[in-house]
């Protein structure tokens, strides 16, 4: 929780600058009145105006919360759905951790009882958070950003989120060594981004089934996926293609930095006539099926390609085919990739 509530910093103007001039004049007029009643009046009006902006983004990270004790933390979660139902203002939800940190100076017996209380409190906070989700009627995006595997794998939480009609963006950043199996049964997702554990720099082609299959993460009833970003120790195998590709019929942006992509994936995209406009790839080796697909349609706006085993003659010929097919429309430069931490290099 940090629990930090703030408006997104990218907004070009502040809250006051977007207010009607008549209201600004009223605030200036009342501020000249030294009476307490006028001051309370101003604060009340400003509070009503500012509340939707303050709760627009909700960041939950218990380890860095400013709330001093468990009672205050539980009270905050309860306040989301009680009284003024502040949850209805939340548009962007970022989940880091519900785990209470352990103090540095603690004996063995104290640690035992602390862990018991910590587990109970974390469970209660999760229950209150799950109860608040249906009230987040304006929720547009959810970002899992941490190593809290229990929070990421919470069936109750994902089930409640799946029915929010405006929720169309899901981002998962999990750098832990073991990512849990996630059953994401979301109904309205259009943008999906998954960033898993690092460690692809020295990877070479392998058909080892022990690597994480992409279907362990891409389950559920997606209506339309228009933006897909996958990075980490994932694999798109030929057996998953018939289930995955039908969910990508309106795909417009694709970013992949994963261990293995089967040739059948590119062939299926070509067969379904899926025309991706922005393609960013970091692959283990050259795949002729990729270039056949990229040359099968028009409308490619940008392309970035990195082959971790190095660019050979066949790869360069494939790139030239793509250039000839799409002409100057294609920008063969990195378009600000999400998998930048992997030291992505330009192939030119």
Q: What is the pLDDT of residues 155-166, one digit of tens each?
A: 788 888 888 888
Q: How confident is the model at residue 268, as a pLDDT?
A: 96
- Portion of the chain with pLDDT greater than 90, in percent: 10
Please tell me the distance from the alpha carbon of residue 259 to that of residue 255, in angstroms, as a whole number: 13
pLDDT score, position 165: 81
* Rounded mean pLDDT, 172-189: 62
| pLDDT value, residue 264 | 95
Which runs of consecutive H residues, i.e. helices, occur in the chain? 21-31, 36-54, 70-79, 108-132, 149-152, 155-161, 241-244, 263-271, 288-294, 313-326
**Confidence at residue 207, expressed as pLDDT on a 0 to 100 scale:** 38
Question: How high is the pLDDT of residue 194?
Answer: 76
* pLDDT band at 266; cut points 50, 70, 90: very high
Of residues 33 and 233, more confidence is placed in: 233
Backbone angles phi, psi at 232, to 5 degrees: 135, -160
- Better-predicted residue by pLDDT, 197 or 124: 124
Q: What is the four-CA torsion angle of 306, 307, 312, 314, rounded to 10 degrees?
A: -80
- The reported pLDDT for the residue numbered 125 is 87
% of the chain with per-residue pLDDT over 70:
64
Q: What is the mean pLDDT of residues 33-53?
A: 71
Q: Which pLDDT belongs to residue 70?
A: 73
Nearest-angstrom CA–CA distance, 84 and 54: 14
Angle at 71 between CA 66 and CA 73, to 5 degrees: 40
Is residue 307 pLDDT above 90, yes or no? no
Mean pLDDT, to the nearest integer, of 21-43? 67
Mean pLDDT of 129-141: 90
Tokens of 53: 């902006």
Q: Mean of the pLDDT values across residues 82-89?
A: 78
What average pLDDT does range 46-50 have in this prediction? 74
Q: Give the pLDDT confidence score for residue 253 in this predicted structure.
A: 92
Kindly list the distances between the CA atom of residue 267 and the CA atoms of 24, 147, 239, 273, in Å, as whole numbers in the listed order.
60, 35, 13, 10
- Residue 123 or residue 334, greater confidence: 123
137 pLDDT exceeds 80? yes
For position 203, what pLDDT does the model report?
31
CA distance 63 to 65: 6
Using the predicted structure, report yes or no on whether residue 277 has a pLDDT greater than 70.
yes
The SS3 assignment for 11 reads coil
Decide: 335 and 343 in contact? Cβ < 8 Å.
no
pLDDT at 2 over 50: no
Q: How confident is the model at residue 282 (pLDDT cuts 50, 70, 90)?
A: confident
- Given a cut of 60, whether residue 10 has pLDDT beyond it is no
Beta-ladder partners of 257: 231, 282
Sort residue 91 into left (φ over 0), alpha (ψ -120 to 50) or beta: alpha
Question: Looking at residue 347, what is its pLDDT?
Answer: 30
More confident residue, 167 or 21: 167
Mean pLDDT of all residues belonging to the chain: 73
The domains of the chain are located at 21-54
Q: Is 27 helix (H, G, I), strand (E, B) or coil?
A: helix
The yes-or-no verdict on residue 122 having pLDDT over 80 is yes
For residue 161, count other CB atoms closer than 10 A to its CB: 22
Residue 259 has pLDDT above 50, yes or no: yes
Comparing 114 with 234, the larger pLDDT belongs to: 234
Residue 189, classified by CB atoms within 10 Å of its CB into exposed (0-12), middle (13-18) or buried (19+), is buried
pLDDT confidence of residue 210: 40
What values do phi and psi take at 47, rounded to 5? -60, -45
């Amino acid at each position: 929780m940090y629990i930090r509530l703030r408006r997104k910093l990218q907004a070009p103007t502040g809250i006051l600058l977007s207010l009607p001039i008549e209201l600004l004049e009223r605030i200036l007029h009342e501020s000249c009145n030294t009476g307490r009643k006028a001051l309370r009046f101003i604060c009340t009006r400003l509070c009503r105006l500012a509340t939707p902006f303050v709760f627009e983004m909700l960041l939950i990270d218990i380890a860095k919360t400013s709330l001093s004790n468990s009672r205050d933390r539980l009270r905050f979660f309860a306040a989301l759905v009680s009284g003024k139902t502040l949850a209805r203002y939340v548009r962007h939800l970022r989940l880091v951790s519900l785990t209470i940190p352990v103090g540095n100076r603690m004996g063995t017996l104290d640690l035992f009882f602390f862990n018991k209380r910590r587990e109970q409190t974390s469970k209660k906070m999760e229950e209150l958070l799950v109860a608040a989700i249906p009230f987040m009627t304006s929720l547009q995006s959810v970002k899992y950003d941490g190593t809290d595997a229990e929070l990421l794998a919470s069936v109750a939480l994902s089930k409640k989120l799946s029915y929010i009609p405006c929720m169309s963006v899901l981002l998962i950043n999990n750098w832990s060594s073991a990512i849990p199996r996630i059953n994401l049964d979301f109904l309205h997702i259009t943008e999906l981004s998954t960033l898993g554990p690092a460690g692809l720099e020295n990877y070479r082609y392998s058909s080892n089934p022990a690597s994480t299959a992409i279907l362990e993460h891409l389950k559920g009833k997606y209506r339309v996926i228009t933006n897909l970003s996958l990075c980490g120790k994932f694999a798109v195998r030929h057996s998953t293609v018939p289930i995955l590709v039908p969910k990508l019929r309106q795909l417009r942006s694709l970013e992949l930095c994963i261990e293995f992509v089967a040739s059948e994936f590119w062939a299926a995209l070509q067969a379904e006539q899926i025309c991706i406009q922005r393609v960013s790839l970091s692959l283990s080796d050259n795949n002729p099926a990729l270039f056949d697909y990229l040359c099968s349609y028009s409308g490619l706006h940008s392309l970035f390609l990195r082959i971790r085993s190095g660019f050979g003659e066949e790869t360069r010929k494939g790139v030239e085919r793509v250039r000839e097919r799409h002409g100057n429309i294609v920008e063969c430069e990195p378009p600000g990739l999400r998998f930048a931490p992997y030291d992505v290099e330009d192939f030119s």
